[in-house]
Amino acid sequence: MAYLLHLLTLIVIYSVLGASLNLMVGYAGLLSLAHAVFYGIGAYTSALLVTKLGVNPFLGLGAAVTVAALVAALAAALFLRFRDDYFILATMGLQIITHGIFHNWVSLTNGPFGIYGIPRPTLAGLPFTSNWSYFGLTLLAAVVILWALHRLVESPFGRTLRAIRDDEVPALILGKNVGLYKVLASAAAGGMAALIGGLYAHYIRYIGPDSFALGESIFIFTIVIIGGSGNWWGSILGAAILILLPEGLRFVGLPSAVAGPVQQMIFGLLLMGLMLYRPQGFVGRYRFE
């Protein structure tokens, strides 16, 4: 049962990561390979404040959201001069630089050894030390984030984002500040990723730089591709598929030397099939071209 609960917790965490990235990809039209940056900033900010300064974990989570949202807004403002492939390359550069900081700033992040002993939070005397209680906390946070995301994308702000994604020129003609909308969408996405990143840190109780490397950003982006762009429900489906599929291979009885390559082959075939026959993903509204 503990194993199943762990998988459910991971699905909840990655559903939020996929949905928050979907705000950038599916609604603002910003293809980013740096989402693990904000996920990692959230985890490190909360972990450092709690373990080094003794800050209350919930205050640490709030600080994590603030820092990541500011970094995301600044990065978006700097990268908006780039278009399409160049924007992706710029975000990839940000991802590589940030991972290097996590890995090499030993005096702050403990470098490749990471941060151990991150405590679980306590609220009004109620400790979230058991996996069941922490799953409930994570699920509650995810529901609030997804509800806020739903309200955001269905608001005039969200409709303007979709219009900008489809064609910026009409939005400019109507007097919309296209750059500001993209910056705000990036800040919101970064803040959401940071919140769930902080919760992840307190759940696992250890974080290291390799948890937030380029491969993690690609994994989150794959959730959006599989589930579908422009529909945050698809992020839940994509997260469930990518978390459960490799776990299912454990029960097939394949040797460990074979299971890894088979898993990668299945992922590759799944992505190729989606790109060929359903480029918008399983439940997406926006085609990846």
DSSP H helices, the chain, are 2-22, 35-53, 57-79, 85-104, 106-109, 131-153, 156-166, 168-173, 178-204, 214-227, 232-249, 256-277
d(Cα 22, Cα 227) in Å, to the nearest integer? 10
Distance CA 180, CA 258 (A): 48
Structure-block tokens of residue 177: 């500040």
pLDDT tens-digit profile of 10-22?
999 999 999 999 9
32-59 per-position pLDDT tens digit: 999 999 999 999 999 999 999 999 999 9
Q: DSSP for 187-208?
A: HHHHHHHHHHHHHHHHHHSEE-
Q: pLDDT tens string for the chain (289 positions)?
A: 788 999 999 999 999 999 999 999 988 889 999 999 999 999 999 999 999 999 999 999 999 999 999 999 999 999 998 887 899 999 999 999 999 999 999 999 999 999 999 999 988 777 888 989 999 999 999 999 999 999 999 999 999 998 988 888 888 888 889 999 999 999 999 999 999 999 999 999 999 999 999 999 999 999 999 988 888 788 999 999 999 988 877 777 767 677 778 777 887 888 888 877 777 777 766 655 5
This prediction has a pTM of 0.93
